[in-house]
Structure 1
Amino acid sequence: MLAMITGASSGIGRDMARELSRRGYDLILVARRRDRLEILQKELKTKVQIIPCDVSKKESCFSLYHQVEDQDIDVFINNAGFGLFGAFEETDLERELELINTNIRAVHILTKLFLRKFIRRDKGHILNVASSAAFLPGPLLSSYYASKSYVLRLSEAVYEELRRRGSHVRISVLCPGPVRTEFDRVADVRFSVKGLSSEAVARYAIEKMLRGKLIITPGAMMKATRFVERFASEKLLLRCCYHMQKRKQS
């Protein structure tokens, strides 16, 4: 069994690598930081191939796929991504474009390439990492929320296409709430509620992915939040989300 993970050098990606290794999977780990990948490689018990790669660059995504296309990959996880905090007119445009390239374009390219490969074999799991942000509007984190909504809707659409063709390929999307990772430092925010541990989220995500669940939402709080959202107007959600995001300001 072989699994490949982008954004594997820290946080949920790193802990999903640990969980899959515990389950006996060999791994292909992808991230920008070779040194962190090498540290993780030494820790894991199964065979690990590391590929330093910046998936924010379109050419790197295609190069990454071509490096592994001859390998019999069973699980592909799109985990690379980051957030950017601030009012939309104030945030740095170049940084936002890098966010879009990482959170959307890379996910789109790699999902398509691995999906085609898996369909030809009629087997394989794809897990795209989104966020509970995908269900909500996101003032003060607008680009991040919008990018995760894209990941959610793309994954849902592909799921239905696969179902209708009777394919044995499975696609899932992980939508956690706050998780204790480096996300808050990179996005320059602090969460106003205590996040779940990255280890618990990774373990839950892998278990549900392997069972073929479409939308994976760890934690009772986020499940309850999704239920309540159905009864709120868009304008009320906007106001609530703004105040929630404002409390995150470092």
Structure 2
Amino acid sequence: MENNGKYALITGATSGIGLELAKLFARDGYNLVITARDIAELDETSSQLRTFGVEVLPIPKDLFDREQAFALYADIKQRGLEIDVLVNNAGQGVYGKFDKTDIDRELGIIDLNIASLVVLTKCFLTDMTARKSGKILNLASIASKLPGPWQAVYHATKAFVLSFTEAVREEVKDTGVTLTALMPGVTDTDFFNKADMQDSKAVQDEDDLADPADVARDGYEALMEGKDKVVSGLKNKVQIAVSNLTPDSVVAHQMNEQQKPVEQQ
């Protein structure tokens, strides 16, 4: 497809769901602004995405620092670029019982998953509503609907993302701007390595891991259709439907059994 002249900004675009989303935008002719911490990975990803015939601008930022989210917006404005689609994909978790995990790491995750997402949404949404067009895709998770023993902070951040997305979506519903939440389940990405979660029962069965390309496709289609949210995968849809009818304490116990280390099963 020919370059459509529009720009999509994707955070955490060098691997997993973010990379697959970048490919979908590129295939549809969107120019890309991609950001991640690793400059070498950004450059490699940029070269890969340019094969689609679109412009790719890599901007290295560490969104564990909320001030770098403001800096990312400033960099893009300074270049005179108009972002038509914002994808807040970057996110991370940490695995373990809350009384044993590192609080500084968790505060960093809160800054990445929540603060930087809020900053980027605020900045670009203001521009979008002023011109009465734009789309935002926020990576939530089925974790947003489930209490998460062994990942208490991560699940809580994703509950924030979902609630925030749905609230702001309602506020701007008459402006021509839409917000969509993508809610995948366990997906075959580097998330679990970064979260030190390899021992969890939840990731032991590779057959249960979703393909990030399938998750990205679900999110991309929902975004383009202007939907409020999408749960990716039939199994995850069923799990959420059942959990909605189950007491939270029971769901928390079930999640504890799913998430705890294999040697404790």
Whether TM exceeds 0.5 here: the answer is yes
After superposition, the Cα gap between the structure-2 partners of 1:42 and 1:156, relative to the gap in structure 1 and judged at 3 Å, is same
Unpaired runs of 5+ in structure 2? 1-5
Residue 118 of structure 2 aligns to a residue in which SS? helix
Shift of 1:58: 2.1
User: What CA deviation, in whole Å up to 9, does each residue of 1:57-100 have, x standing for no partner?
Assistant: 12211110011133121100011110100000000011111111
CA contact (8 A) 1:173 1:215 kept: yes
Matched ranges for 1:61-210 at <5 A: 61-69=69-77, 70-163=80-173, 166-190=174-198, 191-193=203-205, 194-210=208-224
Residue 38 of structure 1 aligns to a residue in which SS? helix
Shift of 1:248: 6.5
CA contact (8 A) 1:192 1:247 kept: no
Moved over 6 A (4+): none
Is 1:218 the counterpart of 2:232 in the alignment?
Answer: yes
User: What CA deviation, in whole Å up to 9, does each residue of 1:221-249 have, x standing for no partner?
Assistant: 11111111121011111110111111568
Unpaired runs of 5+ in structure 1? none
Matched residue, 1:35: 40
State the one-letter code of the partner of 1:205.
G
Q: How many residues align?
A: 248
Give me the identity figure in percent.
36
Match of 2:18 among 8, 13, 26: 13
CA distance in 1, matches of 2:63, 2:17: 17
Shift of 1:145: 0.3
User: What CA deviation, in whole Å up to 9, does each residue of 1:88-137 have, x standing for no partner?
Assistant: 00000111111111011101111111111100010000011111100011
CA distance in 2, matches of 1:34, 1:9: 10
User: What CA deviation, in whole Å up to 9, does each residue of 1:16-47 have, x standing for no partner?
Assistant: 11111011111000000111111111112211
CA distance in 1, matches of 2:262, 2:243: 20
CA contact (8 A) 1:19 1:203 kept: yes
CA contact (8 A) 1:189 1:248 kept: no
After superposition, the Cα gap between the structure-2 partners of 1:184 and 1:49, relative to the gap in structure 1 and judged at 3 Å, is same
Matched residue, 1:59: 67
Matched residue, 2:256: 242
CA contact (8 A) 2:66 2:112 kept: no
CA contact (8 A) 2:83 2:124 kept: no
Residue 180 of structure 1 aligns to a residue in which SS? coil
For normalisation by structure 2, the TM-score amounts to 0.91
CA contact (8 A) 1:128 1:172 kept: yes
CA distance in 2, matches of 1:156, 1:58: 22
CA contact (8 A) 2:183 2:230 kept: yes
